[in-house]
Amino acid sequence: MQQLHLTPIHPGKVLQDELEEINISSEALANHIEIPSSIIHDICDGKKDINALLAMKLSRALGASPQFWLNLQNNWEISQIKESEYQNIQSIAA
């Protein structure tokens, strides 16, 4: 079976799309989940990451699971690693 390779996108893009879809401003979301609006702006701009606590807050506010947000973040982070940073590592498993 051939694997489908999708280019991960920063979770901020997904968050921005969600806010636009439900017609809520980033400031309104930030107020609702009790964080500074600059954090939501930075996430939407791809300048800040989503951590576990923020994933829980987004989950409560927007309905998606915390794992959804963390998976987006993890997939993004993995996609940003250059192979040259780990290509010299050999398997030690039998």
pLDDT in tens, 3-43: 555 678 999 999 999 999 999 999 999 999 999 999 999 99
**Strand stretches in the chain, DSSP E:** none
pLDDT of residue 8: 87
* DSSP-derived secondary structure letter, 48: S
pLDDT of residue 1: 46
> Is residue 39 within 8 Å of 30, Cβ to Cβ?
yes
Q: Which tens digits make up the pLDDT trace of 61-79?
A: 999 999 999 999 999 999 9
**CA–CA distance, 55 with 11 (Å, rounded to integer):** 11
Look up the pTM and report it.
0.85
Across the range 81-85, mean pLDDT stands at 91
DSSP-derived secondary structure for 20-40: HHHT--HHHHHHHTTS-HHHH
Q: Tell whether domain 11-65 is in CATH 3.40.50.1110.
A: no
Provide the residue ranges of all domains of the chain, joining segments of one domain with +.
Answer: 11-65
